[in-house]
Structure 1
Amino acid sequence: MTAVHNGVSADRLGGVDWRRSRMSGAVGNCVEVATLESGEIAVRNSRFPNGPALIYTRAEMAAFLAGAKDGEFDDVLS
């Protein structure tokens, strides 16, 4: 697989297994993730499956998830 970059069209990431969060609602507020061959993590909006995908390293995703679990981003909903 060739290198991919942030904003790549998600349909160019063929052969990946997109997973939707169990927390996603029925009204289309869904985030999907897929692990790429490189080990990086792709994230897309399920309402636009061929739209852009954001690509993160495993370390970046781990840092984000740790912060979310620790409540570091709770203020964005205020």
Structure 2
Amino acid sequence: MNQTYNGMSTGELPAVAWKKSRRSNPSGNCVEMAELPGGAGIAIRNSRDPDGPALIYTTDEIAAFILGARDGDFDHLIQ
């Protein structure tokens, strides 16, 4: 796989299994995440633009975000 970078087209990524949150709704207000091969990180895309840009994060970055969200660190952003 070529080097991944933030904003790269999802079409440039290898075939990955995109997963959408169960909290997604029919209005398309959701994002999808996929594990990149070989532990290269996690890709995130807008489900309404599946061929658009992807944001690429390390597994540690995603873990910090998810654990922070679980702890309520970002609750003020949705109130």
TM over 0.5: yes
Cα RMSD between the aligned structures? 0.9
Matching residue of 1:69: 70
Give TM-score scaled by structure 1 length.
0.94
Matching residue of 1:11: 11
Distance (whole Å) between structure 2 residues aligned to residue 37 and residue 64 of structure 1 = 21
Count of aligned pairs between the two proteins = 78
Matching residue of 1:47: 48
TM-superposed CA distance for 1:21, in Å, is 0.8
Distance (whole Å) between structure 2 residues aligned to residue 77 and residue 21 of structure 1 = 17
The sequence identity of aligned pairs, in percent, is 54
> Structure 1 regions of 5+ residues with no counterpart?
none
Distance (whole Å) between structure 1 residues aligned to residue 38 and residue 56 of structure 2 = 11
Give TM-score scaled by structure 2 length.
0.93
> Structure 2 regions of 5+ residues with no counterpart?
none
Q: Runs of at least 4 residues of structure 1 off by over 3 A?
A: none
